[in-house]
Structure 1
Amino acid sequence: MRLRHLLLPLFVAPLLAACVNDTASYSIDGTPEHSLSLVREQPVFWNDKVNLSLIVSRMPNCVRRHSLGSGTAKTLVEVWQVPSGAFIIRVGKRMYATETQTCEGFARLDADPVTGMGELRGVFRLNQGQLAFVPKAAPGVDAGAE
């Protein structure tokens, strides 16, 4: 009986290793105090679905975590900034608007903004197997390509 309890962690550990639980950040002003961070959490190893969350922070004034719904480990999350300073987050066909002045403003958008998407700042995506924020590159270079 005792041997079985000792061997159980050896069989369970590889199953848990398949789960995704990581984060990557976009530093808005080049400092970690003002950032957007993507969190990916896979609740169960047998399903490739991951829960996506966005942490909006401008420390020490505010920090909030907002749900972006679900995706897969390979889901691209685009970050766009509009002239007002607000951000549009695109996850596949879903879009959300958020801001970093109070970190409370967050809403799902039903359609492209009338005034446009603004400027693409970059993409959260897998980069050499790790979640990373890949800034918008020079013209002609695709930030979404792996």
Structure 2
Amino acid sequence: MFPSRLLLLWLPLLVACSDQRAAFEIDGSRQHTLTLIRVQTLPWDKTARYAVVVARMPDCQRRHEIGAGGAETRVEVFAPGNDAWILKQGKRMYVVEARTCEGFARLEAEPEGGLGPLQGSFQMRNGTLGWVGEPVAQPAAAGATAGQ
């Protein structure tokens, strides 16, 4: 009887690990994505471990470890071009590429050409990791002129 009670005491700790994933579909394609993985060991931990999976199927897919960060930290995604993506987690920045999915590096400073347009961010909302895209600017209507 005692071992089963002991197991019941440990059960909440055994199921406490949170492994959440959210994906940014590049150009709206499920075959070309950046997926953020967030693993938090215990619900009260103030940090989580992060990784990103870059995929351009069927050609390549690779997981890159980002490391630990704040449990509620937002990860912004910028598009500098040429199938490269810059992830910004607080003050830390990483670049990943989707041509071969092999390239990944931590950036010590913002690139000379800038980060590129913000695509959106991975963020926690009501305890769930999700992707929040930036609104796409709509082109001006054909024939419209300034001042009308």
Give the TM bin, normalised by the shorter chain: 0.7 to 0.9
**In 2: Cα distance, 1:62 partner to 1:83 partner:** 18
**Residue-by-residue CA offset, 1:81-102 (whole Å, 9 max, x unaligned):** 0132311000111101111110
TM-score under structure 2 length normalisation:
0.84
Structure 1 gap ranges (5+)? 140-146
Match of residue 18, structure 1, among 1, 16, 19: 16
CA shift for structure 1 position 16: 3.5
Question: How much has 1:20 moved relative to structure 2?
Answer: 2.1
Unaligned segments of structure 2, at least 5 residues: 138-148
Other structure's SS at 2:12 match: helix
Q: Does 1:132 align with 2:130?
A: yes
TM-score (normalizing by structure 1)? 0.85
Q: Bigger shift: 112-121 or 28-37?
A: 28-37
User: How big is each residue's C-alpha offset from its partner over 1:93-144, in whole Å with a ceiling of 9 and x where there is no partner?
Assistant: 11011111100011111100100110100010012221001001368xxxxx
8 Å contact from structure 1 (residues 56, 63) kept in 2: yes
Amino acid aligned to 2:39 = E
After TM superposition, which residue ranges in structure 1, 4 or more long, deviate above 6 angstroms? none
Aligned residues: 137
Alignment of 1:29-108 (within 5 A): 29-43=27-41, 47-108=45-106
Relative to structure 1, is the Cα distance of residues 61 and 138 closer, same or farther in structure 2, using a 3 angstrom cutoff?
closer
CA contact (8 A) 1:15 1:45 kept: no
Q: Percent identity?
A: 42
CA distance in 1, matches of 2:16, 2:51: 20
Structure-2 change in CA distance of 1:19 and 1:72 (3 Å): farther
Match in the other structure for 1:143 = none
Distance in 2 separating the partners of 1:13 and 1:48? 21
SS at match of 2:28: coil
Whether the aligned pair in 1 keeps the contact of 2:18 and 2:42 (CA below 8 Å) is: no
